[in-house]
Structure 1
Amino acid sequence: MKLTLGFSPCPNDTFIFDALIHHKIDTEGLDFEVFFDDVETLNQKAMQGVLDITKLSYHAFAYVIDKYVLLDAGSALGFGVGPLLISNFAISISDLQEKSMQYKIGIPGKYTTANFLLGLAFPEAKNKQEMVFSEIENALLDGKIDIGLIIHENRFTYQDKGLHKILDLGDYWERQTGCAIPLGGIVINRRLPLDVQLKVNRCIRRSVEFAFANPKSGLAFIREHSQEMSEEVMYKHIDLYVNKYSVDLGAEGRKAITLLFDKALEKEIIPPIKEEIFLSPLTP
């Protein structure tokens, strides 16, 4: 059986899926047609329901929960991994709170979890410009935007370009909740039979476990898609976003995701949720 699978070319995703798509593990008779896209493109594809399995932002998941259910394997949650607000000149948090409408903010997509967190921290910040995440640093340097909301490997590179951190929104979330921040998850189309959904979940977990046991196995594949990143930055990126929650969400991961949605519903940032979020009951 062949299934369509979408994920980003970022090192954390290629690290997770290398063993799966290259059959380094038992895929239980499944094959995968892979689509590489940035996170906001994946979010938009999920809105259309075009892929069988896809990575997407947790913010976006709230809008497609009628089409997709969340797998326990493959997610990106963690502490100290949140998106950063940065600028090319000194801006204090109090300045941003008082003058948020005056600043043009570059964001990596409307439905990213990064933008969701920005809305929680600075609800008055409405002057936003959507762009591909990798273009935000240069847009700041060129003066096209005043503030950038950065994700992924850019948190390792912005200081080298002379840019300044205003706030770590992941840290903001952690101080507010005590939970890991849910960034991205792997979802599967509800129209697929339950046995296939469970099989995919097992295979992705197996792929993550293989990657942890053989961290250099997918190096060529990771490097091929890593946009000329150094090996050191690639593995920093992987260490930041691939962890125990990527193997299995567990009770802690599910709690963090549920809390994210509860806060979003409370502030009317997302529509009401009418479907079960998780694929299967939590196993003891």
Structure 2
Amino acid sequence: MSNTTTVTDGEALKIAYSPCPNDTFVFDAWAHGRVPGAPALDVTFADIDITNGMAERGELDVLKVSYAVLPWVLEEYALLPCGGALGRGCGPLVLTREPGLDLVGRTVAVPSERSTAYLLFRLWAADVLPEGVGEVVVLPFHEIMPAVRDGRVDAGLVIHEARFTYQDYGLHCLADMGEHWESATGLPIPLGAIIAKRSLGAERLRELAASARASVRMAWDDPQASRPYVRAHAQELDPVVADQHIGLYVNEFTADLGESGYAAVRGLLTRAAAEGLVPAIAPDALAFP
């Protein structure tokens, strides 16, 4: 699904992000031409598993991706210091039909094997499930809770607004990946990143970061302005849940990663590389031009 809005001269910038409330809230002002001097956007809406694949294939100019995919794409893409999703108390959850289920040898549905959620799950499992789970299957995130509820999988790793709605499916939270991460590291939880092609050039990348930051601040200054865009793409999500979603995932780290945000990203990728889950990245790979 694509939506092109021309607000400046020249070719529109091709960008992909999810239809989730946090992304539409963040990019509303920019996508609708309300950020002065920002480039036009040609927007594609896609779930994170799809945008991760787009990044690995180098398909678009700007993408919202999982931090977990960075080791495979940082040669071609630069991490923008804003616009993404980090935070506290906002990590992925492992859900089951039965409270306290032993996951050893069980089937677990995950939203993507290159997702940050899955990376956090693998780091958690390395600490608490040394015998390992049985089979991991990839499902679109909105299909995971029904699959657990219906017994098609034993457990599901969920993200986004599922944190607020899983009890509606009669499910139980077995473990909180973010809670485990925060207790182990003291760092915020890195979830989704905004990346842009290095070939755009350093000046252009700085302009994009400024546009993203301005769009975030405009959304905070006038939350009502983004509501039509959020509701149009929220997949029938309850407005109250959408507001909770935005409140949790759009925070000070969205405006600027800052020292602790970068420390969280480096910490995640360093720990994951030590476990052999991702390739190691160069010391300066996260530096913004």
> Is the aligned partner of 1:118 residue 2:126?
no
Give the number of equivalent residue pairs: 273
3-state SS in 1 of match to 2:211: helix
Shift of 1:219: 0.3
Aligned to 2:149: 141
1:54-85 deviations in Å (ceiling 9; x for gaps)? 00000011211111110011010000000000
Q: What are the equivalent positions in structure 2 for 1:83-98 lying under 5 Å apart?
A: 83-92=92-101, 95-96=102-103
Shift of 1:41: 0.5
Letter in 2 for 1:230: D
Taking structure 1 as reference, are residues 190 and 169 closer, same or farther at Cα in structure 2, changes over 3 Å only?
A: same
Aligned to 1:46: 55
Report percent identity of matched pairs.
37
Shift of 1:125: 2.7
Aligned residue among 199, 204, 213 for 1:205: 213
> Is the aligned partner of 1:241 residue 2:244?
no
CA RMSD across the alignment: 1.1
Aligned residue among 17, 21, 30 for 1:20: 30
* Distance in 1 between residues matched to 2:189 and 2:20, nearest whole Å: 18
Aligned to 2:74: 65
3-state SS in 1 of match to 2:236: coil
3-state SS in 2 of match to 1:86: strand
Aligned residue among 13, 36, 49 for 1:3: 13
Aligned to 2:270: 262
Letter in 2 for 1:48: R
Shift of 1:218: 0.8
Letter in 1 for 2:243: Y
Q: What are the equivalent positions in structure 2 for 1:96-107 lying under 5 Å apart?
A: 96=103, 100=104, 102-107=105-110
Aligned residue among 172, 175, 180 for 1:167: 175
3-state SS in 2 of match to 1:73: coil
Shift of 1:91: 2.7
Structure 1: unaligned runs, 5 residues or longer:
none
Structure 2: unaligned runs, 5 residues or longer:
1-9, 127-131
Which gives a bigger RCO, structure 1 or 2 (Cα 8 Å, sep 6+)? 1
Asked if 2 retains the 8 angstrom alpha-carbon contact of 1:119 and 1:125, the reply is no
* Distance in 1 between residues matched to 2:160 and 2:236, nearest whole Å: 14
1:26-54 deviations in Å (ceiling 9; x for gaps)? 134x1111010001100011010001000
Shift of 1:90: 2.3
Letter in 2 for 1:17: F
1:119-141 deviations in Å (ceiling 9; x for gaps)? 11113235100000000011012
* Distance in 2 between residues matched to 1:218 and 1:249, nearest whole Å: 23
Aligned residue among 90, 103, 112 for 1:81: 90
3-state SS in 2 of match to 1:218: helix
Asked if 2 retains the 8 angstrom alpha-carbon contact of 1:5 and 1:51, the reply is yes
Shift of 1:262: 1.1
Shift of 1:24: 1.3
Letter in 2 for 1:106: A
Aligned to 1:226: 234
Aligned to 1:194: 202
Letter in 2 for 1:224: A
Letter in 2 for 1:3: L
Asked if 2 retains the 8 angstrom alpha-carbon contact of 1:82 and 1:168, the reply is yes
Letter in 2 for 1:39: I
